[in-house]
Amino acid sequence: MKKPLQLLICEDEESDAAMVIRALEKAGYDVIFHRVETAEDMRTALEKQEWDVIISDYNIPGFGGPQALAILKSAGIDIPFILVSGTIGEEVAVLIMKAGANDYLMKDRLTRLSEVVKKEMEETEKRKEVKAVSEMIKANEEKYHAVINNSRLAIFLARPGGLILESNTAATELFGYDAEEFTRLDRNDVLDMSDPQVLLKLSERDRNGSIHGECIGIKKNGERFYCEVSSIIFKDINGQKMSCSMLADISARKNAEQQILDTNIELKKLSTHLKNAREDERKYISREIHDQLGQLASAIKIELDWLNIHLEGAEQKTSTHIEHALSITKVLIDTTRKIATALRPSILDELGLSDSLKWQCSEFKNMSGIPCDFKGNFDDTGISLEIRTELFRICQESLTNVMRHAQASKVSISLSDSEENMELSVTDDGKGFDPNTKSDHIGLVGLRERVLSINARLMIKSKPGHGTTILVVVPKDKLYI
């Protein structure tokens, strides 16, 4: 099958043009041609359609090869231009080749014409492909620079560990250097490399190809600021490693986080102060109730006992009233002791944590009727009063929750220790619940606050129908404060 060929031929002799066409057809081309003899005709032909190749004679009256080549160049069209002539010498041929002709042949040696046409058309096609790729690369670069320069993140391109090659507008605004100054800097000039975490992150990037983290940036004026960094390593078109780093100023966020942290610390101190004040107040009220009301009630009972003894001959009605007063006084004394104990059990101040929890377990059993056993093998000598009080209250609140909600048939309390921690657990066999379900139950909120106040960890293990375990883990280095 013949290959189509759109040929523009500049020739004043039809016979010479026919000879060229026959040579191409003989080589397997299906030639569609147009012959021109003037500069105007050539311009019109170039405007009218596309051509695969131009073949021109050197000498044409009023026209010729050099003029045809100049017209082609001025049109800016990449078409193979082959000079075919029978009169020019080698020096002239060299000059026109330098001017831009692709090749030249003598009219009596057209056997090479098809090879020259094929070669030049292939070269032209390659040039067009290269041009298309170059234009695409240029367009992509323009898009890339538009995206980079309009980004709100500071962006750097660099050789890993080397000089900064390119920076965007956001980088110049953030760091205070202009684009030219950046090309004389490296990462040591814009990042605080004294932080060992930065070096660890860079090593991670070398291994994995990318990182994300935080570091300290350094502005041109020496000001330091917190920045968030994402960085990747890639290869350019030459196979050389490059790094692209994107930075954002997060100073405002870090300051806000610090303010929140400071506020939380202040709130924790306030909570601890209020909690200690509440305990002190309970202790004071408990002591006053025990010492004052208790003593007054005891004194009343003594007087009533004296009257009961010394009024043996009194009327039955009088004796009955005295007996009734004695019963009321006994109830008053018992109630006073219960209130004082509930506010602040004296055992908590007089004995150790283990004995206090054991007593609490017994009180719970007497009050609820639910069996409760205590196991403790932890020597709590030296534990701070604050820790002892909080653990006692945690156990107390846990047992209150069991009594109110768990529907349990038995409860166990244990106090134990491991190499690093002391652990308090309260376990029941009640109805349980889903701890993953969000709850603002006041009992759990109180437990969390108390656990947080002593720098401990709270773990709640529960499942509907399978009971509940409240586990408090206190690091041993936090116990003796």
Buried-exposed string 221-255: b where 16+ CB fall within 10 A, e elsewhere: eeeebbbbbebebeeeeeeeebbbbbbbbbeeeee
What is the pairing mode between strands 53-56 and 3-10? parallel
Take residue 131 and report the two structure tokens written for it.
């041009």
In terms of Cα–Cα distance, which of 258, 255, 263 is closest to 225? Answer: 255
At 237 the pLDDT is 75
Query: Candidates 3.40.50.970, 3.40.980.10, 3.30.360.10, 3.40.50.2300; correct CATH number of 3-133?
Result: 3.40.50.2300
At 383 the pLDDT is 78
Take residue 387 and report the two structure tokens written for it.
């820790």
In terms of Cα–Cα distance, which of 219, 227, 213, 225 is closest to 172? Answer: 219
At 293 the pLDDT is 65
**Was domain 351-481 assigned CATH 3.30.565.10?**
yes
At 43 the pLDDT is 93
Distance CA 84, CA 55 (A): 7
SS (H, E, C) 51-90: CCEEEECCEECCEEHHHHHHHHHHHCCCCCEEEEECCCCH
Please give the model's pTM, rounded to 2 decimal places.
0.43
| 316, 318, 320, 324: CA torsion to nearest 10 | 180
At 450 the pLDDT is 82
Instruction: Report the CATH fold assignment for 151-249.
Output: Beta-Lactamase (3.30.450)
Using CB atoms within 10 Å of the CB of residue 460, give its burial: 0 to 12 exposed, 13 to 18 middle, 19+ buried. middle
8 Å CB contact between 392 and 342: no
At 441 the pLDDT is 63
At 38 the pLDDT is 93
CA dist list (Å): 323 to 142, 266, 298, 303? 106, 57, 15, 12
Distance CA 117, CA 126 (A): 14
Distance CA 302, CA 310 (A): 12
Neighbours of 400 (CB within 10 A): 15
In terms of Cα–Cα distance, which of 467, 466, 446 is closest to 458? Answer: 446
At 329 the pLDDT is 75
Q: For helices 442-453 and 251-288, what crossing angle results, to 10°? A: 100
List average pLDDT for each run of 10 residues in the chain, which is 481 residues long. Answer: 89 89 89 92 92 90 90 90 82 84 84 87 86 76 71 84 83 90 88 86 87 91 92 84 89 86 74 63 62 65 71 68 75 70 65 82 87 83 78 86 88 87 90 78 75 86 90 82 54
For tokens 């692709």, name the residue.
Answer: 102
Buried-exposed string 408-444: b where 16+ CB fall within 10 A, e elsewhere: beebbbbbebeeebbbbbbbbbbebbeeeeeeeeeeb
For 182-237, give the DSSP string: HTT-BHHHHB-TT-HHHHHHHHHHHHHSEEEEEEEEE-TTS-EEEEEEEEEEEE-T
Neighbours of 32 (CB within 10 A): 13
Strands (E), 357-420: 372-376, 411-417
In terms of Cα–Cα distance, which of 187, 193, 158, 163 is closest to 175? Answer: 187
Residues across the chain = 481
At 45 the pLDDT is 92
Amino acid at 128: K
Q: CB pairs under 8 A, 24+ apart, for 327-331?
A: 329/297, 329/300, 329/301, 329/304, 330/301
